[in-house]
Amino acid sequence: MNFGFLTEDVKVTKVAAYASANTTDVTGTSVDMAGYDGVVFLASFGTGAADNLIHAEQSSDNSSFTDIAGSEPNDAGASSELQFVDIINPAARYVRPIAVRGTSTTVENIYAIQYRAKTLPQDNKIAGTIEGEQLINPIAGTK
């Protein structure tokens, strides 16, 4: 039963794990957009810098990717450690993020949140990767 939890309405996927300090790009795993209208990629940089940016690429066959025009934030400042790209109705079925590190920094993680799912509820609990709880009218007490 769908109670209106955000975690039942979206699919959350970790598409890139921690990458130690460097200046090389970090390419996230692609997500299949079949069954979803949109996706937002969230990238966390260890150090904010104007040349550390995220953008997205797309592919119809999940092998030949091309940049998505306008997907790189143009107002990311020197202290922007968390950046996102939000895409509705991409032109191709597969989409992936690229974290560009112009200044040596870590990339803490990159997550994809796919939304407007055609099938509900979504199941985001993946043993060893993503776990959580959903509460309705919680009461005070022990954890």
Residue 75's pLDDT is: 67
Residue 95's pLDDT is: 98
Q: For the CA atoms of the chain, what is the radius of gyration?
A: 17
Q: Is residue 40 part of a domain?
A: yes
Query: Structural domain of residue 90, as residue ranges?
Result: 6-115
Q: Is residue 59 part of a domain?
A: yes
> DSSP string covering 55-66, please?
EEEEESSSSS-E
Question: Which residue has tokens 């091309």?
Answer: 66
Residue 29 · residue 96 · CB < 8 Å: yes
Q: Is residue 93 part of a domain?
A: yes
3-state secondary structure of 97: strand
Q: Is residue 11 part of a domain?
A: yes
How far apart CA 97 and CA 58 sit, in angstroms, is 9
Residue 50's pLDDT is: 85
Q: Is residue 124 part of a domain?
A: no
Number of structural domains found in the chain: 1
Q: Is residue 120 part of a domain?
A: no
How far apart CA 32 and CA 109 sit, in angstroms, is 19
CATH number, residue 48: 2.60.120.380
pTM above threshold 0.95: no
Q: Is residue 140 part of a domain?
A: no
Residue 127's pLDDT is: 67
> DSSP string covering 17-46, please?
--EEEESS-EEPPPEE-TT-SEEEEEEEES
pLDDT by position in tens, the chain (length 143): 556 788 888 999 999 999 999 999 999 999 999 999 999 999 999 988 888 999 999 999 999 999 999 998 876 667 778 899 999 999 999 999 999 998 888 999 999 999 999 988 888 877 667 778 877 778 787 77
Q: Is residue 95 part of a domain?
A: yes
